[in-house]
Amino acid sequence: MLGDEGAPFRDASLCLLYGTPWFSEFREHFGYLVLVLQELEQEIKSTVGYMKQACEKNQIPEYFEQDPKDAPFEVLIRMFSSQLDQSAGSCDLINKLHEARKYRNRLAHCFLDAKALEYHISAGGRKKTIDNLKRRTEYVIALVMVIHRIGRAYATDIGLTDEVIHRASAFNREQLGLDDDGYMEYVLGCDPFSPDDAQVSKD
């Protein structure tokens, strides 16, 4: 509309638009989904790391094509898959992980291209986009929980039991000079038992 010379001004105005109250709910759900997808990758990274250590501890000759700490998302899923059985449930889980990975890539590279943005900023499109972000977030959180449970089993096998994690948490609280309630407030950024904070969260 403004030509090449006006493009920077057009882009700047869109950046300002993203910061308006009109986009607040959009930003909230978009940002939350990005964080949840990142958590999924980190959870798989930890779980594959536990798997590798468990194999080494139990002297099981398993092949991990890359150090989990340095592996990209796709390789992490592939290594995770190699440690599962080939049941229908396992294959379905792996397919869902790849679907989440591909969606994260689209979110990063295509979600705000010109055609998508035109849809997102329309009244009907905005509502559908927000609803879709909510559904996707719930979907990915469920995957995170499944991977976490698998990871905890392997972590326990190498000695990272619930008791060990409890002691580590207690040590962190002690280092910060906080009791249980104070530590929760420190982590969450608010007092979850405060009526004022509860009202803010509800609003």
With respect to residue 138, please indicate whether it lies within any of the assigned structural domains: yes
Report, as an integer, the average pLDDT of 114-119.
Answer: 82
Residue 98 above 90 pLDDT? yes
Structural domain that includes position 47: 7-160
Residue 100 above 70 pLDDT? yes
> What does residue 100 show for φ and ψ, rounded to 5 degrees?
-65, -40
Token pair of 198 as six digits: 């509860």
Q: Are residues 36 and 129 in the same domain?
A: yes
Q: Are residues 66 and 132 in the same domain?
A: yes
Residue entry with tokens 């009109």: 22
**What does the alpha-carbon distance between residue 120 and residue 59 come to, in Å, rounded to a whole number?**
53
With respect to residue 57, please indicate whether it lies within any of the assigned structural domains: yes
Q: Are residues 123 and 138 in the same domain?
A: yes
First to last CA, the chain: 39
Token pair of 102 as six digits: 């591909």
**What does the alpha-carbon distance between residue 122 and residue 68 come to, in Å, rounded to a whole number?**
42
With respect to residue 94, please indicate whether it lies within any of the assigned structural domains: yes
With respect to residue 2, please indicate whether it lies within any of the assigned structural domains: no
Tally of structural domains, the chain: 2
Q: What is residue 12's predicted lDDT score, i.e. its pLDDT?
A: 61
Q: State the pLDDT confidence band at 163, using cuts at 50, 70 and 90.
A: confident
Residue 95 above 90 pLDDT? yes
pTM: 0.76
Q: Are residues 120 and 91 in the same domain?
A: yes
With respect to residue 102, please indicate whether it lies within any of the assigned structural domains: yes
Q: Are residues 115 and 185 in the same domain?
A: no
Q: Are residues 85 and 22 in the same domain?
A: yes
Q: What is residue 1's predicted lDDT score, i.e. its pLDDT?
A: 38
Q: Are residues 24 and 113 in the same domain?
A: yes
Q: Are residues 121 and 190 in the same domain?
A: no
With respect to residue 75, please indicate whether it lies within any of the assigned structural domains: yes
Q: Are residues 195 and 108 in the same domain?
A: no
Residue 104 above 90 pLDDT? yes
Residue 9 above 50 pLDDT? no
